[in-house]
């Protein structure tokens, strides 16, 4: 459907005709500037009767340019068909740990042993793409916490930013309390009744200025629900001098994971704590989160709009340039014609 932002601008269409009818011709108007030698200049100018009058073609071209300019001033806009968008009213922030310990290779995908951050990206990216209708935001934290993606319906961009995150970008240590504090700052003034933070880490709070438990108490006061996920295998075989044979050791790579603090954070805010020892458990956890925080079935109508004023404006500009160029070439041709006759004679 075609609409106009300023339809009343069409009242300017008859303005050139009103000017032509109501104002006297230029040679009948009172001069604003008196020139003492005007009579001498008048003898050099051609007679009024010999001056060519505007042709109907020129008048039609001028009228077309004026109509295009008025059309652009009216602000034409194309409104597309209505689209149904699901809306849950939920603001969902993801806080992902990218500290140095996230590069430990204790996750197995297929037959390959990969870093923790690789498994997290693969699973969380699928979770983000499935949250149609939610506003998704992304917090990355290490020694510092920073907002990588503000709350948005653009899930593709959030997934892309997560995919581009690298271990160590935010420092080597872990600031869980600062990540929760940043989430509270972003969610506390948001409209809506459901604000959720999903925090994923593999360690304990070793950096930052805010205690995780104190930050969780503030979040609880603001009505923010926090789900915490501890990631990391409980057993890992390190390679010895001859691979996994002589000198290999069996260790617990998640010895630094502070499960007590993560459980307390979830308890204070009405959330839950989950433990992911491998990629499949992480997939199951995010599937359960989909059940705990289902995508809303309520819908709203959205009609895409596209401004079209630049098309008539560009047409008027193009016609004006072509007209001016043609007039300039014609004037030059007329100016050189007498000189050519003089040479020939």
Which CATH number describes the domain made up of 84-301?
A: 3.40.50.410
Q: Which residues contact 220 (CB under 8 A, 6 or more apart)?
A: 268, 269, 270
The domain spans of the chain are 1-22+55-81+303-319, 84-301
Mind listing the pLDDT tens digit for each residue in 118-174? 999 989 998 898 887 788 999 999 999 999 999 988 889 999 999 999 998 888 999
Average pLDDT value for residue range 177-205: 89
Q: Which residues of 76-87 are buried (b: 16+ CB within 10 A; e: fewer)?
A: beeeeeeeeeeb
More confident residue, 50 or 335: 335
Q: Please state the pTM of the whole predicted model.
A: 0.60
Q: Which of 255, 274, 257, 273 is nearest to 265 (CA)?
A: 273
Residue 297 pLDDT > 70, yes or no? no
Q: How confident is the model at residue 227 (pLDDT cuts 50, 70, 90)?
A: very high
- In angstroms, the CA 315 to CA 98 distance is 53
Q: How confident is the model at residue 53 (pLDDT cuts 50, 70, 90)?
A: low
Q: How confident is the model at residue 59 (pLDDT cuts 50, 70, 90)?
A: confident
More confident residue, 338 or 238: 238
């Amino acid at each position: 459907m075609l609409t106009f932002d300023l339809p009343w601008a069409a009242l300017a269409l008859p303005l050139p005709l009103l000017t032509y009818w109501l104002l006297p011709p230029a040679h009948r108007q009172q001069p604003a500037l008196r020139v003492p030698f005007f009579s001498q200049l008048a003898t050099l100018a051609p007679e009024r009767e010999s001056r060519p009058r505007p042709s109907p073609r020129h008048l039609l071209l001028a009228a077309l340019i004026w109509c295009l300019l008025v059309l652009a001033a009216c602000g034409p806009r194309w409104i597309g068909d209505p689209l149904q968008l699901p809306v849950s009213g939920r603001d969902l922030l993801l806080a992902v740990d990218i500290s140095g310990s996230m590069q430990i290779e204790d996750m197995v995908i297929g037959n390959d042993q990969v870093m923790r951050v690789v498994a997290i990206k693969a699973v969380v990216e699928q979770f983000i793409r499935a949250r149609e209708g939610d506003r998704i935001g992304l917090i990355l934290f290490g020694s510092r916490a920073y907002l990588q993606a503000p709350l948005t319906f653009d899930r593709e961009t959030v997934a892309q930013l997560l995919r581009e995150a690298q271990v160590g970008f935010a420092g080597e240590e872990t600031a869980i309390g600062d990540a929760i504090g940043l989430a509270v700052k972003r969610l506390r003034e948001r409209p809506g009744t459901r604000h959720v933070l999903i925090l994923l880490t593999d360690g304990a709070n070793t950096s930052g200025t805010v205690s995780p438990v104190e930050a969780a108490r503030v979040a609880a006061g603001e009505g923010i629900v926090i789900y915490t996920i501890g990631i990391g295998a409980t057993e890992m075989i390190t390679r010895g001098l001859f691979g996994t044979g002589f000198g290999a050791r069996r260790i617990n790579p998640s010895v630094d994971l502070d499960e007590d603090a993560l459980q307390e954070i979830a308890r204070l805010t009405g959330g839950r704590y989950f433990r992911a020892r491998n990629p499949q458990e992480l997939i199951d956890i995010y599937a359960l989160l989909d059940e705990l925080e289902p995508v809303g079935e309520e819908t709203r109508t959205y009609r895409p709009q596209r401004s079209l004023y630049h098309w008539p404006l560009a047409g008027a500009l193009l016609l004006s340039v072509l007209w001016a160029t043609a007039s300039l070439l014609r004037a030059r041709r007329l100016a050189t014609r007498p000189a050519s006759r003089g040479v020939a004679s």
